[in-house]
Amino acid sequence: MIRSRIKTLVMLLVGALLAAACATTQLNSVWKDPSYQARPGKFVVIGVAKNAQIRRLFEDEFVQQLKERGTDAVASYTFLPDTQQNDQKAIAAKVKELGADAVLVTRLVKKETVKVYVPGTTYVPPPYYGTWPAYYGYGYNIVQTPGYVAEDEYAVIETNLYETGNDKLVWTALSETLIGGSNQKLIKTYIDVMVKALAYDKFLDK
């Protein structure tokens, strides 16, 4: 009985740790140009990243989610090599050729480490309700876990939306994403939040 309770407690603690490791994204600030009232029909998505695989995962996920909301989109890696991510002339020429209305650029601003103290826990078995002769053999095995300091790492990411033609900034968002789990999960979590924010500001269908 006692071993079963201890096993249950351990499973609950493991579950809590796994839940804490899941990726979460929080919007810190969002700005929209109040004079911009159009809804872009086609985006070019640019994920500025040193890692080519991360760039492709990011841009593909963004393109997929934009298309799911009825807006056409093109990933920049399909026409722009990794070595030319900062080639503004090449980007501008291709954007014009594709007939895109907007360019969505995302880049990592910095990484932050936040220390959080996690207090220890104490598990006390429930009171004994059996027969009184057996009571004297009933042991209260109290399980205690010590407190510890956890370090959470966050990616601070900036997302900018530009109107093509005049290269005017019409929307920007600064966010923090808790780093944990696979790259694909992190990217999907982040883009889910960004797409919903774009839809809220009427750049996409809700």
At residue 71, the pLDDT reads: 95
Q: What is the pLDDT of residues 46-72, one digit of tens each?
A: 998 888 898 999 999 999 999 999 999
Amino acid identity, position 128: Y
List domains and CATH numbers for the chain. Answer: 2-7+23-32+40-126+147-200 (3.40.50)
Per DSSP, what are the bridge partners of residue 42?
A: 72
What letters, b where the CB count within 10 A reaches 16 and e where it falls short, cover 15-37?
A: eeeeeeeebebeeeebebeeebe
Residues of the chain with pLDDT under 70: 1-23, 114-117, 123-143, 148, 150-151, 181
Instruction: Provide the pLDDT for residue 12.
Output: 36
In the prediction, which pLDDT does 65 show? 95
The pTM is what?
0.70
**For position 123, what pLDDT does the model report?**
65
List Cα–Cα distances, 166 to 31, 42, 84, 103, in angstroms: 19, 16, 21, 11
Question: Across 49-130, where does the E strand assignment appear?
Answer: 72-75, 102-118, 121-123
